């Protein structure tokens, strides 16, 4: 049984990580974003950020060698530990064998529709965007505490008019509210990533912040428009309508209805402006097809 007191210090965490990797012959795979937590402060931030009372079901995405899982198991009713790497699943079964409230699932998280109280993840960097979209659109939860590469985290709460403002900002804003919890240096992990990470608390909104006629349509429009982020809306809308096979008649009417926004650049538009643009197009298309 792993002595959890050992895991309360950096030295203990480093030792646990190195011996476990050696014992099971694990060579961390970059492609799967395998960086294992060795920072007691960060562990604390994650566990506290989840606001556990003891009766929650927590999904941990990418449990690795089970470091965070061990802490979660003590603080909640049940942990669902999801791990894609077969070798690490074997490690988890061993490391967590004395915890009967941990269920280990060998799967790609993107194939699971989770319905839980909490989600925790030190997110595999290569799937940051897909994972966020997946949990916001397909999963049910109250609080997620997610650790991202700093550059990616910044995009989630970026303000209009800034370089980091992007499609994923609109998505995150529409579905959730976000709080920054902690920024950690590369040395918080073994092996060290090249960059800092940032831990965010993400809470799904109970109701949308603005009215949207059709969510899929909105995000298609947002995606198209952001490929033209530096263009004026006037121009970007023409190209977008062409790409989305929206007729000229609809485009003409839309340009008139959206006149106050046309001289703004795509990256300067607020989330609510994108919703307005998509709604106008959606209504005009419906009108012209009926």
**Residues contributing to the site for ligand SAH (CB under 6 A):** 32-37, 61-64, 67-68, 82-85, 88, 108-110, 122, 124, 127
By beta-carbon proximity to ligand SAH, the closer residue of 109 and 281 is 109
- How is residue 141 written in tokens? 């939860």
**Which of 108, 211 has the CB closer to ligand SAH?**
108
Residue in the shown chain whose Cβ atom is closest to ligand SAH: 62
Q: Which residues contact 51 (CB under 8 A, 6 or more apart)?
A: 143
Consecutive H or E run containing 203 = strand 197-204
> Minimum distance from CB of 223 to ligand SAH (Å)?
22
Provide the minimum distance between the beta carbon of 36 and ligand SAH in the complex, in angstroms, as a whole number.
4
C-beta of 126: minimal distance to ligand SAH in Å? 8
Q: Within 10 Å of residue 107's Cβ, how many Cβ atoms? A: 12
Q: Which two tokens stand for residue 73?
A: 């198991």
Comparing CB distances to ligand SAH, the nearer of 67 and 199 is 67
Q: Which is nearer to ligand SAH, 33 or 271 (CB)?
A: 33
How far apart are CB 100 and ligand SAH at their closest, in Å?
20
Contact 176, 203 (CB under 8 A): yes
Q: What is the DSSP string of 157-202?
A: SPPTTSTT--HHHHHHHHHEEEEEEEEE-GGGEESPPSS-EEEEEE
CB 178 within 8 A of CB 201: yes
Q: Least separation, in Å, of the C-beta of 110 and ligand SAH?
A: 6
Q: Pick the closer one to ligand SAH by CB: 189 or 226.
A: 189
| Rounded-to-integer distance, Cα 119 and Cα 111, Å | 15
Q: Rounded to the nearest whole angstrom, what is the least distance from the CB of residue 159 to ligand SAH in the complex?
A: 30
Nearer to ligand SAH, 49 or 124 (CB): 124
69-89 in b/e form (b: 16+ CB < 10 A) is: bbbbbeebebbbbbbbbeebb
């Amino acid at each position: 049984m792993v002595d959890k007191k050992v895991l309360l210090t950096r030295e203990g965490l480093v030792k646990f990580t190195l011996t476990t990797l050696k014992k099971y012959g694990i060579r961390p795979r970059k492609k799967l974003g395998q960086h294992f937590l060795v920072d007691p402060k960060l562990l604390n931030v994650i566990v506290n950020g989840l606001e556990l009372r003891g009766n929650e079901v927590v999904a941990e995405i990418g449990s690795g060698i089970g470091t965070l899982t061990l802490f979660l198991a003590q603080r909640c009713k049940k942990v669902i530990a999801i791990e894609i790497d077969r070798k690490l699943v074997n490690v988890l079964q061993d490391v967590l064998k004395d915890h009967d409230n941990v269920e280990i699932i060998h799967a790609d998280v993107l194939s699971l529709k989770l319905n839980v109280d909490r989600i925790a993840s030190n997110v595999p960097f290569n799937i940051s965007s897909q994972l966020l979209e997946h949990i916001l659109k397909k999963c049910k939860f109250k609080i997620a505490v997610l650790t991202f590469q700093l550059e990616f985290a910044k995009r989630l709460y970026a303000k209009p008019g800034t370089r980091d403002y992007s499609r994923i900002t609109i998505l995150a804003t529409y579905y959730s509210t976000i709080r920054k919890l902690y920024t950690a240096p590369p040395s918080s992990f073994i092996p060290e990533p090249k960059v800092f990470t940032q831990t965010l608390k993400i809470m799904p909104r109970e109701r949308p912040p603005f009215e949207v006629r059709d969510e899929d349509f909105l995000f298609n429009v947002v995606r198209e428009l952001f490929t033209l982020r530096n263009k004026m809306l006037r121009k970007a809308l023409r190209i977008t309508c062409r790409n989305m096979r929206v007729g000229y008649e609809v485009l003409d009417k839309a340009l008139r209805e959206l006149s106050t926004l046309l001289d703004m650049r795509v990256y300067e538009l607020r989330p609510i402006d994108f919703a307005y643009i998509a709604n106008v197009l959606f209504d005009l298309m419906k009108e012209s097809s009926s």
